[in-house]
Amino acid sequence: MTTASMTPVTKGPELNKRRRVYKPNAKYIPILATLGLLAIMYITGIANYDNFGDPSVFVNLFRDNAVLLVVAVGMTFVIITGGIDLSVGAVISLTTVLTATLLKGDWPPLVVLPAVLILGALIGAGQGAVIHFFKVEPFIATLAGLFLARGLALFINQQSIPIRNETWSAISDYRIELADGVVTKPNAIIAVLVVIIAAAVLAWTRFGRNVYAIGGSSDSALLMGLPVGRTRIVVYTISGFCAALGGVLYSINSTSGHALQGNGYELDAIAACVIGGVLLTGGAGYVWGTLLGVMVAGLITTIINFQGDLNAAWTRIVVGVLLFVFIVMQRLVTRKAK
């Protein structure tokens, strides 16, 4: 028997399987593209504007976008399951109004804080329950939640309510020194902690694996015996909690509450998730990608501010163009994966 005859013949499917091992995983392409875009924008800013490379400019991205970052983290969980949450902006407004009203009524801050956070979580849980038990589309259920939360905020008070509570004012004025001449606010630290916790939950817990499984195919997840209903309700609860936490951070930053605060944040959060590589159809995405998406949006605003002669509307225009680009990229990646 010759040496050639002793060599096993590699079958077609087996050969393709071996070849696929060396191909880059398609799910990382969007997040790598976002990272590359962020790097290019930052380098361009340093090359064109004085003091753009100052560390405080980068740190301020977290401070200025802390509310959006927290809300977008909650939205990431929802979108990965294949859902959407349109109520988060209204929950922010309800939280700020309720917080300001209760503090004005001399409620202790240690009572107000958990109360508004629990309310946000309950709104999210209620939406998740309606979506699961009554088979209502997430768009419709959360649209109803949007009107409910915004209506409650307007019912409580239609005017801006100043917050003069000493604890809230102290937190708002407090500064954390990170380095010589580089300071930030507690809001930024809280936002970063939320990102770290959420990333760990999605990556290393059974709940996180269930979230991805439901986004891939809820029917298959159900056949596998996964707790689809419970997971979906918890996901919307997380989104509602993050929206309420965002409202608390908003009230700390502005030391006021108003029914129109948070208007449009649901769209900004969705945009940040998509730019960060979270697949709109569900089943793929990372919290770190959402962080990059928020940073891209924040960096666009920073560049426009440094330029000085550009209208603020350019932020929306550029984000809109990026959304189109990343949605098309997602379609191309998913087609190749199939």
Q: Give me the pLDDT at residue 338, please.
A: 55
Confidence check: pLDDT of 3 > 50: no
d(CA 142, CA 123): 10
d(CA 93, CA 223): 40
Q: Give me the pLDDT at residue 11, please.
A: 47
* 229, 46 Cβ separation under 8 angstroms: no
Mean pLDDT, range 42-47, rounded to an integer: 93
- For 183, the 3-state DSSP assignment is strand
Question: What values do phi and psi take at 271, rounded to 5?
Answer: -60, -45
Residues sharing a CB contact under 8 Å with residue 329, sequence separation 6 or more, in sequence order: 29, 30, 33
* 96, 217 Cβ separation under 8 angstroms: no
Q: Please provide the distance, in angstroms rounded to a whole number, between the alpha carbons at the two ends of the chain.
A: 42
* Tokens coding 296: 């891209």
Query: Distance of CA 113 to CAs 13, 99, 209, Å?
Result: 58, 8, 31
d(CA 187, CA 65): 9
Query: Looking at domain 28-337, does it have CATH number 1.10.3470?
Result: yes
Domain residue ranges of the chain, discontinuous segments joined by +: 28-337
Half-sphere exposure of 4 (CA within 13 A, CB side): 0
More confident of the two residues 313 and 330? 313
Q: Tens digit of pLDDT for each residue in 227-278?
A: 999 999 999 999 999 999 999 999 999 999 999 999 989 999 999 999 999 9
Q: Give me the pLDDT at residue 323, please.
A: 84
- For 287, the 3-state DSSP assignment is helix
More confident of the two residues 277 and 313? 277
- For 226, the 3-state DSSP assignment is coil
* Tokens coding 291: 């962080």
